[in-house]
Amino acid sequence: VTVRSVVSCTFHSSLEVYCSVEAENLMTGERFFANDGFFTMVAVDFENSPTPVPRAIPDDEQEKELFAGAELRRKRRLGQRRELIQKELSAHPEEFEQVNNY
């Protein structure tokens, strides 16, 4: 299994990484695409507070394509996160009242 990754975009304190997974049939040596996806990370300092990250600059056409779609993917992720939080708040309000009382 080979995983290749590239920072597709950086935001203020977060970065989006694209990963592509390739597998190999050990009997034949044939390599084939297995999976791909994006994940995000937030840079934190020694106090676990978000900290700014350097701006990513795409080098080639593939990186430029990934970079071009990053803002839309980010908006989708944040929207899905808000929906999930609202759903959890509605389903279990008592759990969140305890958190807000601290």
Tens of pLDDT along 26-68? 999 999 999 999 999 999 999 999 999 999 999 999 999 999 9
- Tell me, what's the pLDDT at 101? 52
End-to-end CA distance of the chain: 46
The answer to whether the CB of 3 falls within 8 A of the CB of 31 is: no
- Label residue 95 by pLDDT band (50, 70, 90): confident
Domain count, the chain: 1
- Nearest partner of 70 among 57, 81, 82, 83, judged by Cα: 57
Predicted model pTM: 0.74
Compute the distance between CA of residue 44 and CA of residue 52 in angstroms, rounded to an integer.
8
Domain encompassing residue 25: 2-100
Is the model more confident about 96 or about 8?
A: 8
CATH of the domain at 95: 3.10.129.10
Backbone CA torsion sign across 28, 29, 35, 41: positive
In percent, how much of the chain has pLDDT > 90?
84
